[in-house]
Amino acid sequence: MAQSSDNVVGVDNTFRKKFDKEEYLQRAREREEKETEGKKSKSRGPPVQRKPLKQRDYQVDLESRLGKTQVVTPIAPLSQQAGYFCRVCECVVKDSANYLDHINGKKHQRALGMSMRVERASLEQVQQRFESLKKRKDTGSFTVQDFDERLLKQQQEEEERKRQRREKKKEKKKEKAAEDEPEIDPDVAAMMGFGGFGSSKK
């Protein structure tokens, strides 16, 4: 066939679809790069700088509901179910020990925007802390002896108060008894089933 031999070498004269290998290689590389990037961001994410741990600025409330009775149903909102409810993580922990573990735990601190790292204290901070502790020691000198003395004093005061109350009651009783039944002793009256409000009252 004369026609085919006339064609210049290197020119494509077939109708079959041809692939530009170079182009597709390039595309494949781009796709691979994208995929590995995606994997990286999924597995680790961009490094998040969280704040170091901070001291709690509130008292942990473990006992406010102690000894109280509460109706609990499984369909109640989480915050009203049995156990300790964490507002931050919206979860219920069943007892106080686990609740403490939870609020000191990694997941909870992370939700609060803190890492588990502790800030490294500088020399100045340490010195300041020492100073403040010294001052506290000077002003509030407190010994076991002090404690015992205070306890004793309190007990004595309590005794005194009780005694006064008892005396007052006795006086009142006497007065009432004198008014109502002058001849009969109030105790005897009570035993005999006598007496209205005055003698039966204690």
Sites of contact with Zn ion (CB under 5 A):
86, 88-89, 108
CB of 65 to Zn ion, least distance (A): 18
User: Which CB atom, from 80 or from 156, has the smaller least distance to Zn ion?
Assistant: 80
CB of 48 to Zn ion, least distance (A): 18
User: Which CB atom, from 105 or from 198, has the smaller least distance to Zn ion?
Assistant: 105
CB of 101 to Zn ion, least distance (A): 11
- Mind giving me the DSSP string for 104-161? TSHHHHHHTTEEEEEPPPPHHHHHHHHHHHHHHHHHT---HHHHHHHHHHHHHHHHHH
Phi, psi of 175 (to 5 degrees): -60, -50
Query: b/e string for 14-31 if b means 16 or more Cβ within 10 A?
Result: eeeeeeeeeeeeeeeeee
Provide the strand spans (E) within the chain.
Answer: 51-53, 84-86, 91-93, 114-118
User: Which CB atom, from 89 or from 190, has the smaller least distance to Zn ion?
Assistant: 89
CB of 88 to Zn ion, least distance (A): 4
SS3 199: helix
User: Which CB atom, from 104 or from 164, has the smaller least distance to Zn ion?
Assistant: 104
